[in-house]
């Protein structure tokens, strides 16, 4: 391979030292930086603008001021206390966490059952799980709603809300694939040591699967936090509603627009938890999907 060909693909910081000054000032592949910076500006702008508006009063919004306003704490108070968003956030947190944890546990167990045991008709079981991928919850919404409300002994409305969402074809698929890439020596050794399948799961498989678990937890938490339509139709008691419901209640009279500050404050606090989860677990998330550049 020639030197010039490989340097097209490998970033070499020392290469710049022999270049003229103007080449050093303008970064290599300036067009990539240009496109990426443009993309970052366009993609980030709506959220940045929402953050700005969340501190402003309505006259400031209509005057299109590009400086932080004075209403930050008032808006925060309006949203969290008057419009009950604090309560809604807690509700959504409970729901999203239950969904994330429940789905992950069930998927790990199902993955174990699909990989580490020998029995006839295993592919039928796998097909039974995986074919539900073509039945999105929204398609089943009406029938599921009817089925759930026709049973009136739910211990808590949240059980009725979360239980139907706990099985995950995606999760089962991901853990099955992950477990199948594990070397078989691991379970052979565990069996020689007399470990039961569950001991093997907790002592060996799970410690080796944190990236996958982390990636799945991010997806499932976001899925739970962003639930809107299902809670909207299922939950009768407004105090039990979720954060997305609270958010939409802040956007009533959108075109009349007498509440942009609180509305954008709602946007910010509704988006903070999923973004924090996403940022903290980003490394696991990327590794779970093998997205890191240097692998």
Site string for another protein, 136-165 (x = CB under 8 A): x-xxxxxxxxxx---------------xxx
Nearer of residues 8 and 17 to another protein, judged by Cβ: 8
Q: Is 204 in the site for another protein (CB under 8 A)?
A: no
Spatial CB neighbours of 184, under 8 Å, sequence gap ≥ 6: none
**DSSP symbols for 240-277:** G--HHHHHHHHTTTTTT-S-HHHHHHHHHHHHHHHHHH
Nearer of residues 74 and 166 to another protein, judged by Cβ: 166
Q: Which residue stretch of 37-45, 74-82, 83-91, 207-215 sits at the interface with another protein (rule: CB under 8 A)?
A: 37-45
**Would you call 252 exposed, middle or buried from its count of C-beta atoms within 10 A (0-12, 13-18, 19+)?**
exposed
Total residues interacting with another protein, rule: CB under 8 A: 111
Select from 26, 81, 208, 254 the one that contacts another protein (CB under 8 A).
254
Residues between 39 and 68 that touch another protein (CB under 8 A):
39-40, 43-44, 46-47, 49-50, 53, 61-62, 64
Positive or negative: CA dihedral 260, 261, 262, 265: positive
Element (H, E) at 25: helix 21-25
Question: Can you list the alpha helix ranges (DSSP code H) found in 72-209?
Answer: 72-77, 85-115, 122-130, 141-149, 157-162, 169-180, 185-192, 197-200
Q: What is the C-alpha to C-alpha distance for residues 174 and 212, in angstroms, rounded to an integer? A: 8
Q: Is 118 in the site for another protein (CB under 8 A)?
A: yes
Are the C-beta atoms of residues 216 and 284 closer than 8 Å to each other?
Answer: no
Q: Is 253 in the site for another protein (CB under 8 A)?
A: no
Q: Which residue stretch of 70-78, 79-87, 184-192, 209-217 sits at the interface with another protein (rule: CB under 8 A)?
A: 184-192
Nearer of residues 81 and 135 to another protein, judged by Cβ: 135
| Rounded least distance, CB 260 to another protein, Å | 6
Q: Is 225 in the site for another protein (CB under 8 A)?
A: yes
């Amino acid at each position: 391979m020639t030197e010039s060909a490989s340097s097209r693909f490998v970033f070499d910081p020392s290469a710049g030292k022999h270049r003229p000054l103007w080449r050093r000032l303008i970064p290599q592949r300036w067009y990539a930086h240009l496109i990426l910076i443009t993309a970052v500006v366009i993609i980030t702008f709506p959220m940045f603008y929402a953050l700005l508006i969340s501190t402003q009063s309505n006259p400031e919004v209509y005057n299109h001021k590009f400086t932080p306003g004075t209403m930050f704490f008032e808006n925060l108070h309006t949203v969290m206390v008057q419009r009950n968003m604090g309560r809604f956030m807690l509700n959504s947190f409970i729901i999203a966490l239950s969904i994330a944890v429940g789905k992950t546990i069930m998927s790990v167990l199902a993955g174990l059952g699909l990989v580490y045991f020998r029995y006839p008709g295993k592919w039928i079981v796998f097909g039974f799980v995986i074919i539900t991928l073509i039945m999105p919850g929204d398609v089943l919404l009406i029938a599921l709603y009817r089925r759930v409300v026709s049973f009136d002994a739910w211990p808590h409305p949240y059980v009725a809300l979360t239980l139907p969402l706990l099985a995950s074809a995606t999760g089962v698929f991901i853990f099955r694939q992950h477990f199948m890439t594990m070397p078989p020596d691991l379970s052979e050794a565990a069996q020689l040591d007399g470990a039961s399948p569950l001991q093997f799961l907790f002592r060996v498989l799970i410690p080796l699967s944190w990236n996958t678990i982390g990636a799945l937890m991010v997806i499932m938490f976001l899925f739970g936090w962003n639930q809107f339509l299902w809670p909207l139709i299922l939950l009768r008691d407004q105090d039990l509603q979720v954060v997305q419901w609270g958010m939409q209640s802040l956007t009533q009279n959108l075109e009349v627009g007498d509440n942009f500050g609180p509305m954008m404050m709602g946007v910010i606090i509704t988006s903070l938890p999923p973004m924090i989860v996403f940022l903290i677990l980003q490394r696991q998330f990327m590794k779970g999907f093998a997205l890191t550049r240097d692998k």
